[in-house]
Amino acid sequence: MTDTTATGNRRSPTDARPARMDALATLPVFLKLAGKRALLVGGSEPALWKAELLAAAGADVDAYSETFVEEFAGLAANPPSGSVTLHTRVWRPEDLVGSAIAIAAMTDDAEAEAFVAAARAAGVPVNVIDRPEYCAFQFGAIVNRSPLIVSISTDGAAPVFAQSIRSRIEALLPAGFKRWAEAAKAWRQKANARGATMADRRRFWERFSELAVAQAQRPPVEADLDALLDAAAAERAMRRGRGFVTLLGAGPGDPELLTLKGVRALRSADVVLYDDLVSEPVVEFARREARRIRVGKTGYGPACKQTEVNALMVRLAGEGARVVRLKSGDPMIFGRGGEEVSELEASGIDFEVIPGVSAAQAGAARLKRSLTHRDHARRLQYVTGHSREGRLPESLDWAALADPNATTAVYMAQRTLTELSARVTAAGLSPDTPAFAMIDLTRDSEHVIAATIATLPEKLAAAAISGPCLVMFGEALRTTDADQQKQSVAIVPETVP
């Protein structure tokens, strides 16, 4: 969403819509078939599997074929649910009347076309097994923890691929989830009746889900329901209409670097306040129903006043909302988290801080270099290259920055790098000290420029790249030519001896 409220260097918080859903090849639905008639044509092994699947869903299956594989008789005698009736003859168009669903195992094109035409004429959804061109719907690869069911579809393009994904999901979903899903179904009415508001009910089910994931190996008991209800009531009484704020580190950009705790916070948020530097895929972890407000902050660009962001955060929490204040990197490393903590404490708002992967951590991982290698660094220091006035801070300790036994990470240094380089070398740092400028770390647009502390400003200016920039320098970052080739940096680096 384009922010139309920026004027000059001033900007106001702006509501943003969730990203539009990408196009779907098919609509995923779960069809209730209990007590309904299902027509099946074919007596082969593929038809047998579909008959078992339909019966497991509670359908009354009428199967038509001149011959059936042997296992059909056993299925008809002992279906998993519903019923299976075998009709030893060819199908007829009138057999489709009253059917909720029609499935056929056919290889002959003319027969398949006739079956599909008859089904459509009768208004019955139709599927021809392994013939997607004839299908009004398709079956997915199933993970069965009923009533928890997961289905995976590739729109008929690659069934083996769907099966491979299914096997991986099978490994991730404990078999015990079946018991917890059954308990959720049994407890739903009682749990919802105790929830005073929609937010209270959602919070109960979040707690239920957390317990199910943590203790999936054991069966749920009535005491779990009572404990969850009591905890929800205690939280409601404690809040007394006041909300909660989470200061959450979004990491440098790659959504896979967001912590699991951070994902849970976003999924339970009523409102998400986020900066421009937070990548959209991270914001998309929030519930679609959550309100999203951009409180944009970009280096040297239009920005919301911090006091305005603080006031909005406190007001929303005061109205009872669960607010996530989402910040790039880590909220407590040059993220103004301290100012927001002070405001929350002064306003009596309950809050928590969830750390994120900092830009310096991401930079070290990108370079495959330890920032605290014991042969080269006794100290790691984080400094800002950007003061409140937009200039290089006067209070920097130049002797510490010139220490050859330190590794230094400079945040927001792109516009002040020339002055920083001159002053740190004047303070005694060797001009050939290895230095890197890293822009848009962990994102598709990532660029890494390798140089020395003396030559980096010129190389960064020549690259003319915009985006969040981290500068790091120190002997611990020294690399060989072979290392540089392995790292495949986006811009060919100057050799650092």
pLDDT along the chain (497 residues), means of 10: 49 80 87 96 96 96 97 96 97 96 95 96 95 90 91 85 90 91 91 75 87 93 91 72 89 94 92 92 91 76 81 92 94 91 94 96 95 92 85 91 96 92 96 96 94 96 90 89 45 41
Statement to judge: residues 273 and 192 lie in one domain = no
In sequence order, which residues have a C-beta less than 8 Å from that of residue 88 and are 6 or more positions away? Answer: 65, 66, 67, 68
Same domain, 233 and 275: no
Asked whether residue 172 is domain-assigned, the answer is no
pLDDT for 61: 98
Same domain assignment for residues 204 and 274: no
Residue 238 confidence (pLDDT): 66
Residues 133 and 187 in one domain: no
Residue 302, helix vs strand vs coil: coil
In a domain, 492, yes or no: no
Asked if 248 and 196 sit in the same domain, the reply is: no
How many Å apart are CA 353 and CA 327, to the nearest integer?
A: 11
Please tell me whether residues 252 and 235 are part of one structural domain: no
pLDDT attached to residue 16: 83
pLDDT at residue 421 in the model: 96
Neighbours of 179 (CB within 10 A): 18
Residues 461 and 372 in one domain: yes
Distance CA 459, CA 449 (A): 8
- 8, part of any domain: no
CATH of the domain at 206: 1.10.8
Please tell me the total count of domains within the chain.
Answer: 4
What is the side-by-side order of every strand in the sheet holding 126-128? 83-87, 60-64, 37-41, 101-104, 126-128
Position 56 in a domain: yes
- Report if residue 12 sits inside a domain: no
Q: What are the Cα distances from residue 171, in Å, to 337, 376, 398? A: 39, 44, 54
The strand pairing partners of 325, in sequence order, are 247, 273
Q: What is the CATH number of the domain that holds 398?
A: 3.30.950.10
Domain range enclosing 195 = 177-239
Q: Which residues contact 241 (CB under 8 A, 6 or more apart)?
A: 320
Q: Same domain for 364 and 479?
A: yes
Nearest-angstrom CA–CA distance, 255 and 444: 12
* Contact between 408 and 401 (Cβ < 8 Å): yes
Q: Are residues 294 and 255 in the same domain?
A: yes
Note whether residue 435 is domain-resident.
Answer: yes
Structure confidence at residue 297 (pLDDT)? 63
Q: Catalytic site residues?
A: 275, 297
Q: Answer whether 0.85 is exceeded by the pTM.
A: no
CB atoms < 10 A from the CB of 68, how many?
21
- Residues 364 and 483 occupy one common structural domain: yes
Residue 161 forms part of a structural domain: no
Q: Is residue 23, in this structure, part of any structural domain at all?
A: no
- Distant-in-sequence, close-in-space partners of 400: CB < 8 Å, separation ≥ 6: 379, 381, 406
The domain boundary, picked from 313, 328, 354, lies at 354
Sign of the C-alpha dihedral, residues 466, 469, 474, 475? negative
Question: Is there a single domain that holds both residue 387 and residue 478?
Answer: yes
